[in-house]
Amino acid sequence: MVEISNKPNVTGIKKASEEAEYSSKLLAREGKLFAGLLATRVKGIALGICIALLLIVIIPFIAKACGL
Protein backbone atom coordinates (compact mmCIF):
# COMPACT_ATOMS: atom_id res chain seq x y z
CA MET A 1 0.00 0.00 0.00
CA VAL A 2 1.25 3.49 -0.87
CA GLU A 3 1.19 6.07 1.87
CA ILE A 4 0.17 9.59 0.94
CA SER A 5 1.96 12.32 2.81
CA ASN A 6 0.85 15.90 3.19
CA LYS A 7 4.50 17.02 3.67
CA PRO A 8 6.03 18.44 0.49
CA ASN A 9 9.24 17.01 -0.91
CA VAL A 10 11.57 20.01 -0.64
CA THR A 11 14.97 18.34 -1.03
CA GLY A 12 15.32 19.53 -4.62
CA ILE A 13 14.36 23.06 -3.66
CA LYS A 14 16.84 23.06 -0.76
CA LYS A 15 19.63 21.81 -3.01
CA ALA A 16 18.88 24.44 -5.67
CA SER A 17 18.78 27.21 -3.07
CA GLU A 18 22.11 26.07 -1.58
CA GLU A 19 23.70 26.09 -5.04
CA ALA A 20 22.32 29.56 -5.74
CA GLU A 21 23.59 30.81 -2.38
CA TYR A 22 27.06 29.36 -3.04
CA SER A 23 27.17 30.95 -6.50
CA SER A 24 26.11 34.35 -5.18
CA LYS A 25 28.75 34.24 -2.43
CA LEU A 26 31.38 33.28 -4.99
CA LEU A 27 30.40 36.18 -7.26
CA ALA A 28 30.41 38.60 -4.32
CA ARG A 29 33.88 37.44 -3.26
CA GLU A 30 35.18 37.87 -6.80
CA GLY A 31 33.63 41.34 -7.02
CA LYS A 32 35.26 42.42 -3.76
CA LEU A 33 38.63 41.13 -4.92
CA PHE A 34 38.35 42.99 -8.23
CA ALA A 35 37.30 46.20 -6.46
CA GLY A 36 40.29 45.89 -4.14
CA LEU A 37 42.63 45.45 -7.08
CA LEU A 38 41.21 48.49 -8.83
CA ALA A 39 41.50 50.59 -5.68
CA THR A 40 45.20 49.81 -5.18
CA ARG A 41 46.48 49.82 -8.75
CA VAL A 42 47.54 53.50 -8.81
CA LYS A 43 49.44 53.14 -5.52
CA GLY A 44 51.10 49.96 -6.77
CA ILE A 45 52.21 51.51 -10.04
CA ALA A 46 53.57 54.59 -8.24
CA LEU A 47 55.43 52.45 -5.70
CA GLY A 48 56.87 50.29 -8.48
CA ILE A 49 58.13 53.31 -10.38
CA CYS A 50 59.74 54.71 -7.22
CA ILE A 51 61.49 51.42 -6.46
CA ALA A 52 62.68 51.09 -10.06
CA LEU A 53 63.98 54.66 -10.01
CA LEU A 54 65.79 53.98 -6.75
CA LEU A 55 67.42 50.79 -8.03
CA ILE A 56 68.32 52.02 -11.51
CA VAL A 57 69.30 55.66 -11.01
CA ILE A 58 69.87 56.74 -7.43
CA ILE A 59 71.90 53.84 -6.02
CA PRO A 60 74.41 53.74 -8.94
CA PHE A 61 74.72 57.56 -8.72
CA ILE A 62 75.54 57.36 -4.99
CA ALA A 63 78.00 54.51 -5.62
CA LYS A 64 79.76 56.54 -8.35
CA ALA A 65 79.88 59.61 -6.10
CA CYS A 66 81.50 57.58 -3.31
CA GLY A 67 84.08 56.20 -5.71
CA LEU A 68 82.94 52.59 -5.66
Q: Is 59 a domain residue?
A: yes
Q: Is 15 a domain residue?
A: no
Q: Is 53 a domain residue?
A: yes
Q: Mind listing the pLDDT tens digit for each residue in 3-57?
A: 777 777 778 888 889 999 999 999 999 999 999 888 899 999 999 999 999 889 8
Q: Is 55 a domain residue?
A: yes
User: How many structural domains compose the chain?
Assistant: 1
Q: Please give the pLDDT value at position 10.
A: 79
Q: Is 43 a domain residue?
A: yes
Q: Is 67 a domain residue?
A: yes
pTM (whole model) above 0.85: no
3-state SS record for 4-67: CCCCCCCHHHHHHHHHHHHHHHHHHHHHHHHHHHHHHHHHHHHHHHHHHHHHHHHHHHHHHHHC
Q: Is 66 a domain residue?
A: yes
Q: Is 37 a domain residue?
A: yes
